[in-house]
Amino acid sequence: MQIDPALAYVKDTGTPSGRGVFASRGFKAGETVEICPVVVVNNELANGLPQEVACILFGWSYLVTRQAGPLTALALGYGSLYNHNNPANMRYEADDHLKALRFIAVRDIVQDEELTVNYNSYGGGAESSNNRWFEDKGITPIVKSGRPDSA
């Protein structure tokens, strides 16, 4: 895995969402925006984490096997900082060999646009009809443009 010059940057969104990750350059649909190494942990360990940490974990077992399982992952890089949108402008997928998450643009993204993922799409898709992620986590969503966003 190679680390290239920064393709994104973090700044305040100017909304109640707080910080967000923004594109340093434009991306074409289908282009990889970031490959984030992950720390894979057993759900038992994850269940003991503070909510602020537990709610940024990814369902690793499901991403790798498409079945519920005992493993979750903490994404490094910008992976755990992307705010929510539905539809989002990126999707994500697991690379079990690299122990990494790959974030891929689902449409063209312009420079300085906020990079987002869909928290409701457990399998990494950019769009979902389920909007229960915040409710299931016991978090009051921040509403921006009619869509929930994370803080």
| Joined tokens for residue 36 | 């984030």
Exposure string over 100-124, b if 16+ CB within 10 A, otherwise e:
bbbbbbbeebeeeebbbbbbbbbeb
| Residue 130 covered by a domain | no
| Residue 30 covered by a domain | yes
| Residue 85 covered by a domain | yes
33 lies in which domain range? 8-120
- CATH code of residue 113: 2.170.270.10
The structure's pTM equals: 0.81
Per-residue pLDDT of the chain (151 residues; tens, 9 = 90+): 444 557 899 999 988 778 999 999 999 999 999 999 999 998 887 777 887 787 788 889 989 888 888 999 999 999 999 988 889 999 999 999 999 999 999 999 999 999 999 988 767 877 777 776 555 556 555 544 444 443 3
What Cα–Cα distance (Å) separates residue 65 from each residue in 28, 104, 125, 126, 147? 28, 19, 15, 19, 30
| Residue 93 covered by a domain | yes
Residue 149 to residue 151: CA distance in whole angstroms: 7
| Residue 136 covered by a domain | no
Q: How many structural domains compose the chain?
A: 1
Residue 22 to residue 113: CA distance in whole angstroms: 5
Residues 37-81 pLDDT 10s: 999 998 887 777 887 787 788 889 989 888 888 999 999 999 999
Q: Find residue 19's DSSP bridge partners.
A: 12
